[in-house]
Amino acid sequence: MNSISVQDLTKVFVRQKKLPGLVNSIKGLFYRETIRKAAVDHISFDIEPGHIVGFLGPNGAGKTTTLKMLAGILYPTSGKVSILGFTPWERKEEFKKNIGMVMGQKQQLVWDLPAMDSFELFREIYEIPTANYKKQLDRLVTLLDVEDILNIQVRQLSLGQRMKLEIIAALLHRPSVLFLDEPTIGLDIVAQKNIRDFIKSYNAEEKTTILLTSHYMQDVKELCERIIVVNHGQIVYDDKLSKLIADHLQFKILDIVFSEPYKGALEKYGQIIECLDLSAKILVKCDEAVPITTRILNELPIEDINIAEPEAEEVIRELFKNA
């Protein structure tokens, strides 16, 4: 059985349009235009147990709204969702004890208290046996190396330290399904790497099903074999990241190092990305990369040349444009 099953899930937000000015305010007392916006528009997908799936899209694409419906925070307008056999918005106790959620832009730890006080609160809320709680807490604290900050007020910690503690709070009850909404947002490179390594290690040990949203492609490349891409509330791609790159990659980059300063024209070979005295980067079509490379080797003073692919985020950006 799939851990997550979504069928025709839709969420429409309704709001009143209000025009500026006194006259329009008076008119608004009697009539206002209603605006309906589909944040999530009939999406369907399944996720098998133990998989980490990337859920990607630009700002406003419907990612966080979808996660909130899957976690039972929001009611959908229509559609069906099954998480571990439960309907999320029914909010049954057994369902809530088997899911966890981390939102990079919202916190669940009490701001003015040390994290340990919040952890004790979560132990009571989730009715975790004391022995199991201590074992899981010790394990997570060791994996994330946060023993020295457990008794410091949350408000006094750095963003990276707080995110580690937020992840511990979400995993204390050992959920079978974990929703991660921008877990590395705002973190420095080292902190991002530490969080990714932990998620990868924890998933390998616990086989937790994880749905991850992130604007950092390094998170997705390291953690997710499969990605679901949404735009304007609809799924525009659902498959392996490597297949997306292979199917939509239209250009390659020729990274050139000259054996001597070169001032000649390079436009005839392709689109110039960068041009210095001893190096250059040229964008060429995939099917033309090899013949153009051969021409360059024969016609220019070359010390080294490399054919590289654009980053995954460039491919996804092109996918959004096409969608």
Q: Return the CATH number of 4-245, one of 3.40.50.300, 3.30.200.20, 2.120.10.30, 1.20.1240.10.
A: 3.40.50.300
Where residue 198 falls among pLDDT bands split at 50, 70, 90?
very high
In angstroms, the CA 260 to CA 281 distance is 16
pLDDT tens, position by position, 68-109: 999 999 999 999 999 999 999 999 999 999 999 998 778 889
Q: By percentage, how much of the chain surpasses pLDDT 70?
A: 97
Whole-structure pTM value: 0.80
pLDDT digits (tens, 9 = 90+) for 246-256: 777 778 888 99
Each residue's pLDDT tens digit, 142-169: 989 899 999 999 999 988 899 999 999 9
Q: Domain spans of the chain?
A: 4-245, 250-322
Q: Does domain 250-322 have CATH number 3.30.70?
A: yes
- Summarised one tens digit per residue, pLDDT across range 283-313 is 888 888 899 999 999 999 999 999 887 766 6
β-strand partners of 227 = 54, 239
